[in-house]
Homo-oligomer: A and B are copies of this chain.
Amino acid sequence: MYLSKQDIQSMQKVERLNLINSLSGVKPANLIGTKNQNGNENLAIFSSVVHLGSNPALFGFILRPQGEVRRHTHENIISSGVYTINFVTTDFIQNAHYTSAKFDSTTNEFEKSELTPMYIDHYYAPFVKESPIKMGLQFVEEIPIKSNGTTLMVGQVEHVLMPDGTLNDNGHLDLGTLNIAGISGLNTYYSLSKKDRFPYVRKNFSLEDLKSY
């Protein structure tokens, strides 16, 4: 089956949205938690978190050009300078997905979604208690993407919270054991099963070495 740029442009909006969102493959399912200056908590699901670098530890995520989700999350990050990224597990995907509803700014998505805000000392943004892996970030910069008006929000990891024993040898996390969920498209959730872990591929390493690893 072949689709050209013109075929894609002439699709119906919902079909095109689903197709193009699916074509980015499996994406992480994360809840981003913020709080405004009046103390109102905000929580929203995102599938665009991307690793930018490890030293310093930087992550990005994409904010759409407009809409309520953008506005609350963006305003709170700019005003408070902090936000949390919380992993969604297959145990609470309905709750997590429910944060995508369009609530007004006084509505607390934690309450609406039956998820529990959690705080640590000296850090303003709320974590999601139900999430096994929680990160607290400091906002670093926002980068406009001129091509379509979206924004790349960049932050540095300040805090990591995870269950004892989660960190495997050499700093790896097994996402499958923790029931971490993935997303395809806008609203399809996947569970993960570890298939293989390979070594860093050195120059004298052959493909056969890798296949027999």
Contact of A71 with B by CB under 8 A: no
Q: What are 19 inter-chain pairs, A to B, with CB distance below 8 A?
A: A5-B157, A5-B159, A14-B170, A19-B173, A23-B133, A23-B135, A25-B49, A26-B27, A52-B150, A53-B150, A58-B147, A58-B148, A60-B62, A60-B145, A141-B147, A172-B184, A175-B190, A176-B190, A191-B195
| Residues of A participating in the B interface, judged by any CB pair closer than 8 Å | 1-5, 8-9, 11, 13-30, 47-60, 62, 64, 87, 90, 93-95, 97-98, 100-102, 112-114, 133, 135, 140-141, 143, 145-148, 150, 152, 154, 156-167, 170-176, 180-182, 184-203, 205, 207, 210-211, 213
B191→A17 contact, CB < 8 A: no
Instruction: List residues of chain B with CB within 8 A of the CB of A114.
Output: 207
Instruction: List residues of chain B with CB within 8 A of the CB of A159.
Output: 2-5
For chain A, what secondary structure do more than half of its interface residues adopt (helix, strand, loop), or is it mixed? mixed
B152→A145 contact, CB < 8 A: yes
- A193-B193 contact, Cβ under 8 Å, with A3-B159, A135-B23: yes
B171→A22 contact, CB < 8 A: yes
Copies in the complex: 2
CA of A150 to CA of B15, assembled, Å: 33
B100→A201 contact, CB < 8 A: yes
Q: A22-B173, A22-B175 are in contact. List 11 more A-B contacts (CB 8 A).
A: A5-B159, A17-B54, A23-B160, A24-B28, A24-B49, A94-B196, A100-B200, A113-B207, A145-B154, A147-B156, A188-B197
Return the contact of A207 from the options B11, B95, B188, B211 (Cβ within 8 A): B95
> What residue in chain B is nearest A53 (Cβ atoms)?
B148
Return the contact of A148 from the options B56, B191, B192, B200 (Cβ within 8 A): B56
Return the contact of A28 from the options B26, B87, B156 (Cβ within 8 A): B26
